[in-house]
Amino acid sequence: MQKIKIGILVALLIGALLIGCAQQQEQAKPTPTQEAKAENTETLPESILIGGTLSMSGKYSKEGQMSLWGIQAAIKWVNDVHGGVSVGGKKLKLEFKYYDDESKKEAVQSLVERLITSDKANFLLAPYSSGLTLAGAPIADKHGVLYMSHGGASDRIFDQGYAYVVQTLSPASEYQTAFIDMIKAIDPDAKKIAMVYEDSEFSKAVFAGAKKHAEELGFEVVIDKTYPPNPQDLTPLLQEVKAANPDIIIGGGHFADGQLLASQMADLKLDAKAISILVAPALPAFYEALGNNAEGICGPGQWEVGVKYSPESAKEAGLEYFGPTQDEFLELFHEFAGKDVTPSYHAAEAAAAVLAYVKAIESANSLDTDKVRETMNNLHFMTFFGEWKIDPATGKQIGHKMVIFQWQGGEKKIVWPKAAANADPYYPIPTWEEKAEGKKAVKE
């Protein structure tokens, strides 16, 4: 009997303890915060407005037009194929409003302010070029609006401490490093490199990274000189390059000066084993303007048609794939640009920036800027443009990698890295004399 009483007493004590623990657990439940409550009762709009400025006129008009077609193609995929942007159980349409910044910094600044304060854009796309992207960045950051760079590659953009500036394309310091790697791999005897490039924010960042990389690989930089923006005559500078007799020439800045650079190298018969020029060779207009003189010229690209980023390659890499396949993107792009227009990487990177916004918004399940920005820190996925992953501290892109293309037989072929290539590099390239006689950079 005594044992029964003790057992009952122990059971009562255990029960009391369990009840106490349960009450403590109940009391330990966090009180729903105002933030969480707002998440559940958020009044969602019918659509999400992305604002941006594009250079539809001025020196960056070709790149700006490509960017617009890419953005339009991506938005059409989001709305018509993906069904809209999923937030809080609703599907929201995506809209894009832009103004022509005329390739001018002062226009970018006033228009970014207008997009935020008057148009009430939820998110922003930065314009093309590092200089214009830098011009708008402090305004977006001041207002706490996310500002996605699809055409501003300079590393300096992300060294300013901006909290709301994020990048989709590879940083400028990596633009020419893959080309140098390629030359090192196929011709260990090539030693002398000449660098001639535009005195601009973007180009200076590119060639600072290229020079550092070349010297680390044992190359000798025999010429490292800039020319002013909008040059009319590069002949004196190119005469210096010719006298230095380099094995390799890398240069350029944007479309107009890059085309002039190649054209005047041809006039001077300034031959080299390999030539890589920024931006200009990426556009079909480059070959249209230079004709056979474009044969063999390489360029770094953020993307090219034929690059093998797909749901299958994402699976192999252990990543989630998001967005249209390359074929789907091309079909959508042609709806806006016309069937005869081949998208340059400017179109692809702008489209990828839109897709990154959609991926981040859906992952955050919110339109709140800070939640979307914080969610971006943990995203690592693949689109038809390649991988997307940022450095959480700076917003700089660290997932995406450059490719090297070369004009061969009137077509752009991807020649590096080998994993992404659809052709072998043609090396050494035909001389200007040979090209004048009709020789192409095609192996017979």
Residues 376 and 322 both lie in one domain: yes
Residues 267 and 339 both lie in one domain: no
Residue 12 lies in a domain: no
Residues 66 and 106 both lie in one domain: yes
Residues 266 and 156 both lie in one domain: no
Residues 297 and 310 both lie in one domain: no
Residue 82 lies in a domain: yes
Residue 179 lies in a domain: yes
Residues 275 and 161 both lie in one domain: no
Which residue shows structure tokens 């230079």? 290
Instruction: Please list, in sequence order, all residues whose beta carbon lies within 8 angstroms of the beta carbon of residue 176, skipping any fewer than 6 positions away.
Output: 206, 207, 209, 210, 213, 250, 276, 278, 300
Q: What is the pTM of this model?
A: 0.75
Residue 365 lies in a domain: yes
Residues 354 and 368 both lie in one domain: yes
Residues 189 and 262 both lie in one domain: yes
Full pLDDT tens readout for the chain, 444 residues: 444 444 444 444 444 444 443 343 333 333 333 343 344 445 789 999 999 999 999 999 999 999 999 999 999 999 999 999 999 999 999 999 999 999 999 999 999 999 999 999 999 999 999 899 999 999 999 999 999 999 998 889 999 999 999 999 999 888 999 999 999 999 999 999 999 999 988 899 899 999 999 999 999 999 999 999 999 999 999 999 999 999 999 999 988 999 999 999 999 999 999 999 998 998 889 999 999 999 999 999 889 898 878 999 899 999 999 999 999 999 999 999 999 998 989 999 999 999 999 999 999 999 999 999 999 999 999 999 999 999 999 999 999 988 999 999 999 999 998 767 889 999 999 999 999 999 999 987
Distance (Å, whole) CA 184 – CA 181: 5
Distance (Å, whole) CA 62 – CA 52: 17
Residue 430 lies in a domain: yes
Distance (Å, whole) CA 8 – CA 247: 95
Work out the end-to-end distance of the chain between its first and last CA atoms, rounded to an integer number of angstroms: 105
Residues 143 and 53 both lie in one domain: yes
Residue 34 lies in a domain: no
Contact 295, 408 (CB under 8 A): yes
Q: Omega into 417 within 30° of 0, i.e. cis? A: yes
Residues 59 and 120 both lie in one domain: yes
Residues 379 and 332 both lie in one domain: yes
SS3 assignment, position 287: helix
Domain span at 138: 47-170+306-389
Among residues 169, 185, 116, 167, the alpha carbon closest in space to that of 144 is found at: 116
CATH of the domain at 190: 3.40.50.2300
Residues 283 and 341 both lie in one domain: no
Among residues 45, 150, 172, 141, the alpha carbon closest in space to that of 98 is found at: 150
Residue 24 lies in a domain: no
Distance (Å, whole) CA 205 – CA 278: 12
Residue 103 lies in a domain: yes
Quote the Cα angle for 218-248-182, to 5°.
65
Per DSSP, helices labelled H in 144-254 are: 177-186, 201-216, 235-244
Tally the domains of the chain. 2
Distance (Å, whole) CA 210 – CA 252: 13
